[in-house]
């Protein structure tokens, strides 16, 4: 099994999981569809699955277009609103690809359809959890819910502490860290009350300001219509 982060620039991350000549792409981006397909072909892989961790408000997913061009399934959590999803997964369900077992954990809060994807040694968290000072994704966007996100952090109690956290956004060049490391360096994982989390989130909203892409990305993800 090989796990790679394949976006060399920008903050949004796409992961490629390969095993026995089969491939899964996690959180591909619309702008990189042709590049991703070329990479799959160059390596002689068969793209088996595309998985979205949530309905993004900050970039347009490449899920539906990749699924159409590669003839594979585009998976998201049950109830996901993203256009073009051909197969949904339930909380706690498993899926095999080339001998690798994927386990899906519903983790609502950043969006209603947020989920984490666990494979041996790795947890793909989308915007549910970032590495270090990034904390978690913001909960003030459409579908966000502070209390549900805080409650969903309990999922981590069942994850091995040496698991690498593969988040949906990091500064270019940032290396993933273990859950154990994040328990010591991620401010959210050091909080003991919802009130602490709420105060931290509200300060993040003020610091980050508005999401410039939301007026384009979210409608495109919901409708499958990419603006010119």
Q: Which pLDDT does position 228 carry in this prediction? A: 78
Q: Which pLDDT does position 98 carry in this prediction? A: 95
Cβ atoms < 10 Å from Cβ of 187: 15
SS (H, E, C) 104-120: EEECCCCCCCCEEEEEC
Q: Which pLDDT does position 212 carry in this prediction? A: 87
What tokens appear for 48 in the block?
Answer: 């088996």
Question: For residues 15 and 25, is the Cβ–Cβ distance under 8 A?
Answer: yes
Q: Residue ranges per domain, the chain?
A: 2-223
Question: For residues 36 and 62, is the Cβ–Cβ distance under 8 A?
Answer: yes
CA distances from 150 to 18, 109, 110, 145 (A): 32, 7, 10, 9
pLDDT in tens, the chain (228 residues): 999 999 988 899 999 999 999 999 999 999 999 999 999 999 999 999 999 999 999 999 999 999 999 999 999 999 999 999 999 999 999 999 999 999 999 999 999 999 999 999 999 999 999 999 999 999 999 999 999 999 999 999 999 999 999 999 998 888 999 999 999 999 999 999 999 999 999 999 999 999 989 999 999 999 999 987
Measure the CA–CA gap between 144 and 46, rounded to whole angstroms: 35
Percent of the chain with pLDDT over 90: 96
- Burial label, 127 (beta-carbon count in 10 A; 0-12, 13-18, 19+): buried
pTM listed for this prediction: 0.97
Measure the CA–CA gap between 144 and 160, rounded to whole angstroms: 27
What tokens appear for 55 in the block?
Answer: 């309905």
The residue among 151, 173, 119, 107 whose CA lies nearest residue 1 is 119
**Domain spanning 2-223: CATH 3.60.15.10:** yes
Given strand 46-51, what is the order of strands in its sheet? 2-5, 15-19, 22-26, 46-51, 73-77, 87-89
Question: For residues 139 and 108, is the Cβ–Cβ distance under 8 A?
Answer: no
């Amino acid at each position: 099994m090989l796990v790679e982060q394949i976006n060399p620039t920008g903050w949004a991350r796409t992961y490629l999981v390969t095993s026995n000549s089969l491939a899964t792409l996690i959180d591909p981006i619309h702008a990189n569809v042709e590049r991703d397909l070329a990479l799959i072909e160059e390596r002689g892989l068969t793209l088996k699955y595309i998985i979205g961790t949530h309905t993004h408000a900050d970039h347009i997913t490449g899920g539906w277009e990749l699924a159409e061009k590669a003839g594979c399934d585009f998976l998201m959590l049950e109830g996901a609103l993203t256009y073009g999803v051909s197969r949904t997964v339930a909380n706690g369900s498993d899926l095999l690809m080339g001998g690798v077992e994927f386990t899906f954990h519903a983790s609502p809060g950043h969006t209603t359809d947020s989920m984490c994807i666990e494979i041996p040694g790795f947890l793909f968290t989308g915007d549910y959890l970032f590495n270090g000072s990034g904390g978690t994704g913001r909960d003030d966007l459409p579908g966000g819910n502070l209390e549900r996100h805080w409650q969903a952090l309990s999922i981590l109690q069942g994850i091995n502490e040496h698991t690498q956290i593969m988040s949906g956004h990091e500064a270019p060049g940032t290396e993933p860290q273990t859950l154990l490391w994040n328990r010591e360096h991620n401010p959210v994982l050091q909080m003991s009350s919802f009130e602490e989390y709420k105060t931290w989130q509200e300060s993040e909203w003020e610091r980050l300001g508005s999401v410039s892409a939301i007026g384009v990305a979210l409608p495109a993800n919901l409708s499958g219509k990419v603006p010119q």
